[in-house]
Amino acid sequence: GDLLVVNKPKGMVVHPAPGHYSGTLVNALMYHCGDSLSGINGVIRPGIVHRIDRDTSGLLIVAKNDTAHNILAEQIKVHSFTREYMAVVQGVIKEDGTVDAPIGRHKTDRKKMCVTTENSREAVTHYFVEQTYRNNTLVRLRLETGRTHQIRVHFASMGAPLAGDTMYGAPENEIGHHLLHCAECDFIHPASGEEIRLSAPPPQDFLDFCRSFIPADVLAKIFNYA
């Protein structure tokens, strides 16, 4: 095989790091796949072509060999591998737009990222407003780049942090973490050359939160489930 598709649950760390050496997605992949994962990122991140944060749920594509890994990484670089996310932000966003603002590590809090021109990399997020109610907006997002915490930082910089994202200025919510889900991935299969479109509905608590301000039939349409 060339690739694996994982619908990652929220709360699961993707690769081992200080404080999280077990119970990660990589540990699970190693257990299930043994040595049949690409070795490009070494033993810490075998097969991991793109990442999502611990508390972000959704689609993750994993390469099972180096050739597939290289092809997918190149697609990400030239933007032919597209990822679409759904997020609930704290605040009212009235119209679609794009955030084009470079991101680098925070000067004093090394766990955080921020919009900065110092030691930063280009970051571009396109967003589309799905539904606004009181002080929440459900947005669909398309990434051009995949910087660490990109979506979270870009919305915080607009004064509309992701709902529940206390690290970037939102008040705590009953779910206890930010509301962000990778809902769709489109790419060219590295072996067959065919176009692949994958989608995954958000987890139950994400949907429950949305139901508090979006009618059920509208929500079903937005997320493409009946």
Instruction: Encode 5-20 in three state secondary structure.
Output: EEEECCCCCCCCECCE
Active-site option among 53, 100, 165, 186: 53
Indicate if 96 belongs to the active site: no
**What pLDDT score was predicted for residue 226?**
42
Give the pLDDT score at 39: 63
Residues 150 and 83: their CA atoms lie apart, in Å, by: 13
Q: What is the pLDDT of residue 34?
A: 65
Distances (CA, A) of 21 to 34, 55, 100: 17, 17, 34
The tens place of each residue's pLDDT in the chain, 226 residues long, gives 789 888 888 877 775 665 655 666 766 676 567 666 766 655 545 567 777 888 899 998 888 888 998 999 899 888 889 999 999 999 999 999 999 999 999 999 988 999 999 999 999 999 999 998 888 999 999 998 888 899 999 999 999 999 999 999 999 888 888 999 999 999 999 999 999 999 998 899 899 888 888 888 888 888 876 4
Q: What local confidence, expressed as pLDDT, does residue 216 receive?
A: 85
Q: What is the DSSP letter of 169?
A: T
1: number of CA atoms within 13 Å, CB side?
Answer: 12
Nearest CA-CA partner of 151 in 159, 142, 63 = 142
Per DSSP, the three-state class of 65 is coil
Q: What local confidence, expressed as pLDDT, does residue 187 receive?
A: 94
Rg of the Cα atoms in the chain = 17
